[in-house]
Structure 1
Amino acid sequence: MFKTARYRITALLCGLLLTTACSAAGPDAASAPFTDGNQYVTLPAPYQRDNSSGKVEVVEVFSYACIHCAEFSTYADELRKSLPKGVEFKLVPAPFNDAWVPFARAYYASKKLGLLEQTHDELFKAKFKEQYPINSMDEIADFYAQHGANREQFLKIANSPEVDAQIKKDLALIQTWGVDGTPTIVVDGKYRSANIKSFPELVDLTKFLVQQELSAKQK
């Protein structure tokens, strides 16, 4: 059975506040390979994340602290490359608890510094395959310094008020989507993956939901 990493998130928002202070109709149900309410759910209040491109948005909610996300990363890379025109793949780091927040900060700092593409899979590899001690903000900064970042600049961005605000915004969005585990896929703010048994099934589900959304937009 495929399982996502699941954590309680109710207490984190208060901690972040303190930090800041210091239906699209689908195919016929009988022929559809996936079932609403089982492998995926249709969200009651569709909401996209700052999507001004007009493209169908595929979001992976993930964390560098999640071993399942590390295992899914190669599947996610292939999924991103296989998506048709009119579809874009995005990442949202999940700040589910205090231990995961530094990794969310790292995501935004690496993105700001232009290092995301070259370090995304490498961080998973270093943490879970090579088993380097990468947990604290200092250890994370050491990793990025080894991959071209100015360590002081990286930490300044990672701990900035802008990143604090973005993490709070991400947490609110994740709660709105009902995400409680990683990796989770959300398509166009309308559909969220649910009871998935394998990574290939998650990829196939995503492609199914993307096609469903593209078809709906063409009507």
Structure 2
Amino acid sequence: MINSTQLLTLTTLTLLFAACGGTTEPEPTIAPSAPVAVVEKSASIDTPAKTVTRADSGANDKIILAQAEAPAAPAAQKYKAETHYVKLTTAQGTSSPPDVVEVAEVFWYGCPHCYSFDPVVNNWANNLPDKVNFIRLPVMWNPTNAMHARLFYTLEALGKLEEVHGKIFEEMHINKKMLTNEAEILNFIDSQGVSTDDFKKTFRSFAVESKLKRAKNLTQRYRIQNVPLLVINGTYLTTGKGIKNFDDMLAVADELIAREQQGR
């Protein structure tokens, strides 16, 4: 992972493979949101309660002290705020049910680190515990990101995303075609056996526009500065100087998921 850098113009897109950070262009106006703050979640264990029950045994009454069932021990907290993750002061809403922990991978198709991370995070996501939902969130820093996000959400709406998702990475990072305009995207989609008529009808549909608006809003509210990263339940971002590689990121995510599940 690397820090945020300014994206170059489309005529120098080949240089984009050197960095996966946000731009410095002005952000569109949105409703004010709470600033990101690093808040480490503390854990406490309440002293187990004792109950007193009365039992009859023939002519003799006995007082029996019964230890109440002890609460489950809190998840071990190996990783620290500011070093391994940040915690938003105000948690953002998720698209998953209230009893489900949502994990969102924030990514960009043009990012080489995201390309490398994709098979790793896919394997990890396939082994998540029950009541954990993995989704992808395309980052929305600038028009190039927006075009790729539009491609993502169009394929999702057509039910073709899982089939084509990996091929998009290959088109950009192996074939060196960045898919920065609609014509290039349509040629690519046609090569993947997706109906171009259906694709064009959906590409600028209300459903896709709504998804793009939400992705842009979350990119800003999460204060995303680099990708890939994981957002745990709209609350934690796996970013910090203590994360050196993908294994570190996933280990931090595992712990944060456990904390969120235990807090329910």
**Same-fold call, TM > 0.5?**
yes
Aligned partner of 1:3 in structure 2 is: 2
Which structure 2 residues correspond to residues 132-171 of structure 1 after superposition, within 5 A?
Answer: 132-171=177-216
Tell me whether 205-214 or 160-169 shows the greater mean CA deviation. Answer: 160-169
Structure 1: runs of 5+ lacking an equivalent: 15-22
Q: CA RMSD in A?
A: 2.3
Note if contact 1:13-1:168 (Cα within 8 Å) is conserved in structure 2.
no
Find the partner of 1:124 among 145, 162, 169.
169
Task: Kindly tell me the number of residue pairs found equivalent between the two proteins.
Answer: 206
Aligned partner of 2:250 in structure 1 is: 203
AA of the residue aligned to 1:85: D
Deviations 1:28-71 (A, max 9, x none): 9xx63321111101110001222235210000111112221111
Which structure 2 residues correspond to residues 1-219 of structure 1 after superposition, within 5 A?
Answer: 2-3=1-2, 5-8=20-23, 11=26, 13=28, 25=42, 32-52=77-97, 54-195=99-240, 196-217=243-264
Note if contact 1:12-1:98 (Cα within 8 Å) is conserved in structure 2.
no
Aligned partner of 1:18 in structure 2 is: none
Q: Normalised by the size of structure 1, how large is the TM-score?
A: 0.85
- The structure richer in helix per residue is 1
Q: Distance in 1 between matches of 2:115 and 2:173?
A: 7
Fraction of identical pairs, as percent: 24
Give the deviation of 1:117 after TM superposition.
0.8
Q: Distance in 2 between matches of 1:181 and 1:155?
A: 31
Query: Which aligned segments of 4 or more residues in structure 1 are displaced greater than 4 angstroms?
Result: 23-28
Give the deviation of 1:24 after TM superposition.
5.7
Structure 2: runs of 5+ lacking an equivalent: 4-19, 30-39, 45-72
Give the deviation of 1:10 after TM superposition.
5.1
Deviations 1:166-192 (A, max 9, x none): 212211122111212211210001111
Give the deviation of 1:78 after TM superposition.
1.0
Q: Normalised by the size of structure 2, how large is the TM-score?
A: 0.71
